Amino acid sequence: MQIAVVGATGAVGKEMCSILEQRQVSAEHLRLLASARSAGRRVPYLDTELIIEELTTDSLSGVDFAIFSAGSDISRAFAKSPSAGTVIIDNSSAFRMDPDVPLVIPEVNPADALKHKGLIANPNCSTIIMALAVFPLHRVNPVRRIVVSTYQSASGAGAAAMQELRDQTRQVLDGQPVAPKVLPRQSAFNVFSHNSAIDDTGYNEEERKMVHETHKMFHDDTIGITATCVRVPVMRAHSESINLTFERPFSEQQVREVLESAPGLRLVDDRTENFFPMPIDAAGQDPVLVGRIRQDRSDPSGCGIALFVCGDQLRKGAALNAVQILDLLTQ
C-alpha cells in the first residue's frame, strides 16, 4: 500500500506525518509531496529520512491513498480527477458539500466513507469538534436545535498564524507596534470575529460550514443550527460553547453517561474543583474534551442542555480525522 501526504510541510501535513509515524507506517510506503520551494527538503521519519517531492500531475501514479492538506485550489487542481486507483482524502473545503463526495467523521458516519467514488472530504475542524460531542447524544435523543459559539486558536489558520501570534505577543509585551499580516486583526491579547467571508445573511463562511456540514453528516436538514465563530489568542486547540435542544427531556446524568462512553471523547467535568475542558489540556491530544454539562434552566421543558468542548484542531480537527478515514478504508 502506497500512501502520499500532499502539503506535507504545512501545520496539518506535519501532524499527519507524525500520526502515520506513530502508527509505524513504513517509510517505504509513504511519499511526502509539497510545492516546488519545499522539494528536496529532508525530514526525519522513524529511523530514516524522507525527501519532500514536488507535487506534479504525475505524482500520484502508483499511489493507493493520498491525503491532501494543501488548500482548496490545490485540491481542485489535483484531487478532482485523481490517478486511476488513487483514493483521495481531502482536508480542504473544496468538495465538502458536493453531493457525490462523502463527508466523514469516523465516529459519526463511517458507512458514508465506503460509498466513495475515489474522493472523501474531511470536515471543517470546528464541525468535527462539535459533532463528536453532539452526535452520540443525537443518537439517543434527537437534537432539534444547536446554538454554538467557537473560540478558535491560531492553529486553525496554519503555521504562519501560529508564528504571528508568538511574534505579536513578544511585540506587545515589549511595547512595540503590531502590524497584522497573516490574520487581518491583531491576534495577541485580542478577540475578533472569524476572518472568513460574510454573506448577505450576516453569517461568515466558518459559521455556514458548521451548519451545512452537520446537516450533511447527520443526514438531517431539519436541525436548527446557528453559530458564532471567533478567533482567540490561543496557540492550539479550539473551544466551543454548545447549547442543545432535544426532542425529549434529557437529564444531566443521562447526558454524562452517554458522553462518558462515546468514542473520541474524554469527560472533564469536575464541579467541586471547578475543573472543565481547557485548550491547554486538549493541545496535542487525540480525544475531544467535554464538560460543563448542565441543564439549560431557561428551558422549562427539560429538553435543553449546555456543555463546553475543547479539541486539538491539528489532530482530531484535521490530521487525525483524515488518518482515521484511511484506517476505515484499509481495515
Please list the active-site residues: 125, 238
Starting at the earlier edge strand, list the strands of the sheet with 30-34.
Answer: 53-54, 30-34, 3-6, 65-68, 87-90, 119-121
- Taking 3-state DSSP, the helix, strand and coil percentages for the chain, each rounded to the nearest 5, stand at 30, 25, 45
d(CA 97, CA 100): 9
d(CA 54, CA 52): 7
Strands 265-267 and 288-295: parallel
**Cα-Cα end-to-end distance for the chain:** 12
Give the CA distances from residue 126 to residues 195, 314, 322, in Å, rounded to whole numbers and listed in that order.
14, 11, 15
Asked whether the beta carbons of 197 and 209 are under 8 A apart, the reply is no
d(CA 7, CA 317): 16
**Which positions ≥6 away from 110 have C-beta within 8 Å?**
104, 328
Instruction: Give the single-character DSSP code of 94.
Output: T
**Which positions ≥6 away from 170 have C-beta within 8 Å?**
176
Q: Could you write out the DSSP letters of every residue in 31-42? A: EEEE-GGGTT-E
**Which positions ≥6 away from 238 have C-beta within 8 Å?**
125, 126, 129, 150, 151, 152, 153, 156, 279, 310, 311, 313, 317
d(CA 44, CA 59): 21
Q: Cell 495577541, residue?
A: 188
Asked whether the beta carbons of 60 and 67 are under 8 A apart, the reply is no
Task: Indicate the residue type of 23.
Answer: R
Q: Cell 458564532, residue?
A: 228
